[in-house]
Amino acid sequence: MKILGKIRLVPVTIFAATLMLTMKVADIFDDFNLQNIPLQLSKAVAQDEKKSQQKATSGANNKTTSTEKESSKSKESEKGEASGKDEDNPDNDPTLFTQSEIDLLQELSDRREQIEKMSKQINLREGLLKAAEKRISKRVSELKQLQKTINDLIKTHDDQQETKIASLVKIYEAMKPKDAARIFEQLDLNTLLIVAERMKERKLAPVMAQMNPEKAKDVTVELSRLRELPLPGTLVIN
């Protein structure tokens, strides 16, 4: 009976021990779960914050993109409206011009072409006139220089001739009146007048007295006419 009682207690003891072991293991798991709760909470909070930041960033980006799109759409809309206004402006539509307006525009265009053509011709003529003025001015300068040269030559020639005539006058004044009269009668009237005009009166009178009366008369008339003539460069007042 004692042995039977012991045999019956063994299963009860094993069951009790198993039950206690199970409870112990459950307590251990409970303790482990309690220790991990703060860590899990921290991870959960961190994940929530990360998701919130991502959502906020995504929202901001979406808002910026939306704003840019709206701005772009607004600009395109303004351009479209402006273009539409230009297109809708009846003044810019050539098909709405009347025939008289078209004729007037054509006339103005033709007139503008004529004015431009005339302007080009005027500019060309001005250029030609300026070139001609330069050539004329150069030619005038050359002519003035030539005139000066000629005047100098004439003056030189006149001075030389005057010197020669003065020498002849002295010769005839030194000659005897009869000899001088004989030579005077052989000279042509112009040469005779040149010499006689420069001779002193008291030297010329005896010579003319010895000359042929007709010749002496002609010389007297011409000398009178020459002496009435004004000197070169003298102003004559009637």
pLDDT tens column, 65-75: 555 555 555 55
Average pLDDT over residues 161-167: 89
The answer to whether residue 9 scores a pLDDT higher than 60 is: no
Query: Does residue 30 form part of some domain?
Result: no
Domain containing 220 — which CATH number?
A: 1.10.220
Query: Does residue 146 form part of some domain?
Result: yes
Note down the domain range covering 165: 134-228
Query: Does residue 196 form part of some domain?
Result: yes
CB atoms < 10 A from the CB of 225, how many? 10
Alpha-carbon separation of residue 152 from 138, 161, 166 (angstroms): 21, 14, 21
pLDDT at 171: 92
The answer to whether the beta carbons of residues 223 and 190 sit under 8 Å apart is no
Query: Does residue 167 form part of some domain?
Result: yes
Domain total in the chain: 1
Q: What is the pLDDT of residues 26-80, one digit of tens each?
A: 555 455 454 554 445 455 545 656 665 665 555 545 545 555 555 555 555 555 5
Q: Give dist(CA 227, CA 238) in Å, integer.
A: 17
Q: Give dist(CA 192, CA 190) in Å, integer.
A: 5
Query: Does residue 51 form part of some domain?
Result: no
Record the tokens describing residue 98, joined without a space.
């009347």
Give start and end residues of each alpha helix (H) in the chain. Answer: 2-88, 99-174, 177-186, 189-198, 201-209, 213-228
Query: Does residue 53 form part of some domain?
Result: no
Query: Does residue 222 form part of some domain?
Result: yes
The answer to whether the beta carbons of residues 88 and 94 sit under 8 Å apart is no
Q: What is the pLDDT of residues 85-112, one digit of tens each?
A: 555 555 556 567 788 888 888 889 999 9
pLDDT at 176: 93
Q: Give dist(CA 114, CA 116) in Å, integer.
A: 5
Q: Give dist(CA 19, CA 10) in Å, integer.
A: 14
Query: Does residue 184 form part of some domain?
Result: yes
The answer to whether the beta carbons of residues 191 and 169 sit under 8 Å apart is no
**Across the chain, what does the average pLDDT equal?**
74
The answer to whether the beta carbons of residues 235 and 206 sit under 8 Å apart is no
- For 233, which DSSP code? T
Record the tokens describing residue 125, joined without a space.
């003529």
Query: 186, 174, 185: which is closest to 211 by C-alpha?
Result: 185
Say whether pTM exceeds 0.85.
no
The answer to whether residue 123 scores a pLDDT higher than 90 is: yes
The answer to whether the beta carbons of residues 196 and 219 sit under 8 Å apart is yes
Query: 158, 207, 146, 156: which is closest to 180 by C-alpha?
Result: 207
The answer to whether residue 152 scores a pLDDT higher than 50 is: yes
The answer to whether residue 23 scores a pLDDT higher than 70 is: no
Burial of 184 (0-12, 13-18, 19+ CB in 10 A): buried
